[in-house]
Structure 1
């Protein structure tokens, strides 16, 4: 999941221009060349990103309402801008699932509301682990019923500040084995097979935000046919001058 970028210094471009036919003596004195960079390795889920319904499965909906799941280029841009609400679950221990009761309790305490178009940001505090070997192994996770509760309130774009939306894989597997359950693994994601939604992972700096009263803007790359896209996620607090 690491991102690798190859940086090319300015002088490489001078040799490219020379190869195209312009002698060095005719190059402008202030022409140092241009810098360039190439992303040599990056998965669409490698950085702060937003998942499309296609990520959760090949179809969306139930029964006669089942349709092919949407890929990331089909995300409605009007859904990518909306009022934000932060849900603080930093008290949750690693491996402890987030429930709708946790969400409703925090909303009641903060006075924030989740209505049609609200973009909900789940603050776990695990963004502090980003860049460490344990990042993908540490964290809480959204339960299926908590995820569905948000969707039922009108929230279809949501995000979390840890590696993934669900419990870390080893916690999911251990719990499934312990309880003998075949419906637990990836439960939060799998809600999106029935009720399509768009989900951000690996957010950062949610601690800098108020609980509500700000706007969220999500800017994903338009990658045709992809299950997700790297995204620049911006919070706007107060009026824009």
Structure 2
């Protein structure tokens, strides 16, 4: 069995936009030894000689959408098809461990939409089939971008392509770029040019009509075959949250 990590490392990155920056504090062994002694009111002589203290760490700042994560239906809106939208802690775990299919659209130019035809053409090319319950991974190769380019460049799922996947029985899908839709700054510029308020978040807003979840900021999809593997997406169980960081992996059997 081979396990391929599809997740970003949770770390501070100065080149990230301010709203994405993660702050971690790493506490060395000696600092915790002092705190333990203080808490227990014990002299150092009463601790084992080899004991140097416990390493400890603290997440000081990290939004649930800041790194590799999965969005719950609650992120898109409070109601889906007339029913209360699920928060991340309400998602059935069965949805999050399933056969995976990779759709390669890395050839598309920045700011182009991913269409139903793009998906069908790639399925025909690879011989893959999408079955109900599969987890579909959209490969753009934009995980290689850094800094402002990571946020401001990329492609995006169209409304029609998102609906098509859901209609095939797909509950979970994901992409290896900053967002699931076209880049926000690009959409803002186009909205001003066209005075069209309907350009924004076409894929996200499908979630108001049809229940589904999507992952953002995946990585390393180019290491995967088109099919024949399983995907595990287990997010932190955050009460009432709209999303959660997740360690996403692909599992390939020998």
TM-score w.r.t. length of structure 1: 0.94
- Pairing partner for 1:220 from 213, 223, 235: 235
Q: Name structure 1 gaps, 5 residues minimum.
A: none
Number of residue-to-residue matches in the alignment? 234
User: What's the secondary structure of 1:230's corresponding residue?
Assistant: strand
State the Cα deviation string for residues 137-196 of structure 1 (Å, max 9, x = none): 110000000000000001110000000000000222233344443322111100000001
Distance 2:176 2:142 in 1: 6
Q: Among 62, 66, 80, which residue is 2:96 paired with?
A: 80
Q: Could you tell me which residue of structure 1 aligns to residue 105 of structure 2?
A: 89
Structure 2: distance between partners of 1:104 and 1:42: 37
- What is the root-mean-square deviation in Å for CA atoms of aligned residues? 1.1
How far does residue 14 in structure 1 lie from its aligned partner after superposition? 1.6
Taking the TM superposition and a 5 Å limit, the aligned residue runs for 1:135-154 are 135-154=150-169
- TM-score, normalised with respect to structure 2: 0.89
Q: 1:77 to 1:54 in 2, by over 3 A?
A: same
In structure 2, the residue matched to 1:14 is 33
Residue matched to 2:16: none
**Partner Cα distance (1:149, 1:110) in 2:** 19
Per-residue CA distance 1:73-114 (angstroms, 9 max, x = gap): 011100001110000001111111111110111001101111
Superposition pairs for residues 57-206 of structure 1, below 5 Å? 57-61=77-81, 66-130=82-146, 132-206=147-221
Partner of 1:236: 251
**Greater relative contact order (CA < 8 Å, ≥ 6 in sequence):** 2
What SS does structure 2 have at the residue aligned with 1:117?
Answer: coil
Task: Point out where structure 2 has 5 or more consecutive residues left out of the alignment.
Answer: 1-19
Q: 2:160 & 2:188 partners in 1: Cα distance?
A: 19
